[in-house]
Amino acid sequence: MTETLENPAETITARDAEDIFAGWLADFAAALRSGSTSDLAALFLPEATWRDFMAFPWDFHHTVGREETVARLTELAKAWNAADFRPSREQPPVVTDGAINAFFDFTTTDRIDRGYVLLVPSAGHFVVSILQTQVIGLQAHPERVRHHRRDGKVYGIVPDRTRWSSDREKEIAFEDSEPAVLVLGAGHNGLAIAARLGALDVPTLVIDREARVGDTWRKRYASLALHSTVFGDHLPYLSLPPSWPAHTPKDKFADWLESYANLLDLNVWTSTTFLDGHFDTDAQRWTIRVRRGDGSVRELHPRHFVVAGGLFGSPKIPAIKGIETFPGMTAHSDEFQYGADFAGKKALVIGAGVSGHEIAHDLYEHSADVTMLQRSATYVVSYESYHRYWSTLFTEDMPYTPDFADQMTYSLPNERVDELNKKLVKLAAAADQDLLDGLTARGFKLEWGPDGTGIIGAHMSGKDAYQINIGASELIADGLVHLKQGVEVAEVRGRTVVFTDGSTLDVDLIVFATGYHQFWGHIKPTLGSAANRIDKAYGRAADGEYANTWRRSAQPGLWFGTGFIRMARFYTRFTALLIKAIEAGIEPMDPDRADGD
């Protein structure tokens, strides 16, 4: 049985934590090796959970409760030859509120893996509350990093030596070869998966319709900045420098994405439009047509097609009677730029999500007379509360590197994440009470996300009706930005906007901050029968994990990647390793096909 302190409530030193964890890990490894469910059960709380990311089966799965966890662990450890358990050499245990956060390394059949455990005191011993395991590499195919990095220039005599720049031009062109993977979208999701695949020697091509990598960000409204902070905004293999600002302006992030693609030698075709694709089930290969910037059409034949175009696609603009008579300017938030262009003008911003608030904020700061139309309800959280409650692992003095912090962030099953989010939403609401009271006093309608789960729940359900406040909410609460709530625009008569309650407003500018259509709905018709097996991309699947996203989708060879920067950094590891395993013959393209088919 795991040795611990006589009184687990007393102060635990770093040395204590190392000894306690080492004892627990030895007992854990012994129980798995012997197959003793009783010995294993003694190491877990009754309510303990386990979440696994491809360390065992090549998929995501989780268990809730000691009984289910112990049974599943015992079964999979035997089936996948779990062995070589040892404390992490990179990250020592960290004591937080009397509990121990610790990491360990181990192996399964063909993989190198890492685990995270939260040990808590119980009945005189430390036992597991949370267990997470994940693959971090393939034993026979290491990433081209650190001791396995490429040589670069080979010194000595090399007949007919080629130059790096010429080699890169050839690699990017794919004139005499085919990419194994085609990635649609050169945003943070697409570039992150391309970087992971490149480090695994999987030929990968990224295409993007914009003229430059990062243009999707450059073209957004000028006041936009990332709502996440620098501490969690790193992409795989390349951390942001310590001099980087805490809050990244959108143009700076756009330039960073472009630099990232260049520095990591990613193969990117810009000004390239995806036309359509067909998957040949027998050949297990795609035929995909793209239009290059010069108008030519190129046919590509990758084995894998990764849709990394983001959660949302084309702008959603409501049809309004008489809008063609409006003599002023109309723009969707996707194309709106500068509030400074409308000093002294009257503006109507339709929509009360993040974009609507920040555009209204920008217009007010540049002396426009702004009215916001809130048609339904919005979840509001202050920037300070958002980071206080949802970004606790990502701070200036974080005791973990982002790689280890990510593992902790994604350690709970989603159903427990929902429970946690409900609690955090209530804590944030209490902290923001004065602001929320000021908003409701102005007639602003609040909501709390699907079933009270806030921003995370909203994203999971494909909604964007939330506001991370950086100043616009105070403007509304103070009456400096006017509010029109609970109505729609009935029609436009010249400069006059007529609402469904009969009221009117004369304006010079109408901004539609009305969101976007789902990206999958936009691309689905272009993939023919291959798309018929995909009911949705992102959101929850029946097993509680993400639907068809970052894991095998229901259509072999079709992959989806979307989400926040942290999600891209974390999940791309698993997508890339599984694709590499398929390309190396470790895993089949289609597990449902009979052997030899």
Residue 224: closest CA among 118, 357, 116, 28: 357
User: Residue 228 above 60 pLDDT?
Assistant: yes
Instruction: State the pLDDT at residue 314.
Output: 74
The edge-to-edge listing of strands for the beta sheet with 489-493 is 489-493, 496-499, 504-506
Q: Which residue intervals of 99-182 are DSSP H helices?
A: 164-173
Read off the pLDDT band of 426 (50, 70, 90): very high
363/523: higher pLDDT? 363
Instruction: State the pLDDT at residue 538.
Output: 83
* Nearest-angstrom CA–CA distance, 340 and 556: 49
Mean pLDDT of the chain: 94
Give 393-400 contacts, CB < 8 A, sequence gap 24+: 393/232, 394/228, 394/229, 394/231, 394/232, 394/566, 395/231, 396/231, 398/231, 399/94, 400/91, 400/94
Tell me if 154 sits within 8 A of 162, measured CB to CB. no
What's the whole-number mean pLDDT along residues 407-417? Answer: 96
Instruction: State the pLDDT at residue 425.
Output: 97
What's the whole-number mean pLDDT along residues 260-284? Answer: 97
Instruction: State the pLDDT at residue 10.
Output: 60
**Which helix H or strand E contains 187, and what residues bound it?**
none
* Nearest-angstrom CA–CA distance, 524 and 276: 10
DSSP H helix total and E strand total for the chain: 16, 27
Instruction: State the pLDDT at residue 311.
Output: 61
User: Residue 313 above 60 pLDDT?
Assistant: yes
Helix, strand or coil, per DSSP, at residue 464: coil
* Nearest-angstrom CA–CA distance, 279 and 306: 13
- Length of the chain counted residue by residue: 597
Instruction: State the pLDDT at residue 507.
Output: 98
CA distances (Å), 489 to each of 7, 150, 485, 508, in order? 66, 60, 11, 15
* Nearest-angstrom CA–CA distance, 312 and 302: 25
**127-172 pLDDT, tens per residue?**
999 999 999 999 999 999 999 999 998 899 999 999 999 999 999 9
User: Residue 221 above 70 pLDDT?
Assistant: yes
Tell me if 352 sits within 8 A of 438, measured CB to CB. no
* Nearest-angstrom CA–CA distance, 422 and 412: 14
User: Residue 60 above 90 pLDDT?
Assistant: yes
CA distances (Å), 252 to each of 93, 324, 498, 567, in order? 36, 36, 40, 20
**64-77 pLDDT, tens per residue?**
999 999 999 999 99
The edge-to-edge listing of strands for the beta sheet with 273-280 is 273-280, 285-291, 297-300
Read off the pLDDT band of 536 (50, 70, 90): confident
- The residue type of 60 is F
346/564: higher pLDDT? 346
* Nearest-angstrom CA–CA distance, 5 and 126: 9
User: Residue 1 above 80 pLDDT?
Assistant: no
| Structure-block tokens of residue 581 | 């395993």
**171-212 pLDDT, tens per residue?**
999 999 999 999 999 999 999 999 999 999 999 999 999 999
> Residue 445 carries which DSSP code?
P
What's the whole-number mean pLDDT along residues 554-570? Answer: 94
**427-481 pLDDT, tens per residue?**
999 999 999 999 999 999 999 999 999 998 887 776 778 999 999 999 999 999 9
Strands 125-138 and 44-53: parallel
**Which helix H or strand E contains 263, and what residues bound it?**
helix 250-263
- The residue type of 296 is S
What's the whole-number mean pLDDT along residues 526-534? Answer: 90
**576-592 pLDDT, tens per residue?**
999 999 999 999 999 98
* Nearest-angstrom CA–CA distance, 478 and 350: 19
Q: Where does residue 522 rank: exposed (0-12), middle (13-18), buried (19+ CB within 10 A)?
A: middle
* Nearest-angstrom CA–CA distance, 529 and 535: 13
Instruction: State the pLDDT at residue 11.
Output: 83
Read off the pLDDT band of 535 (50, 70, 90): confident
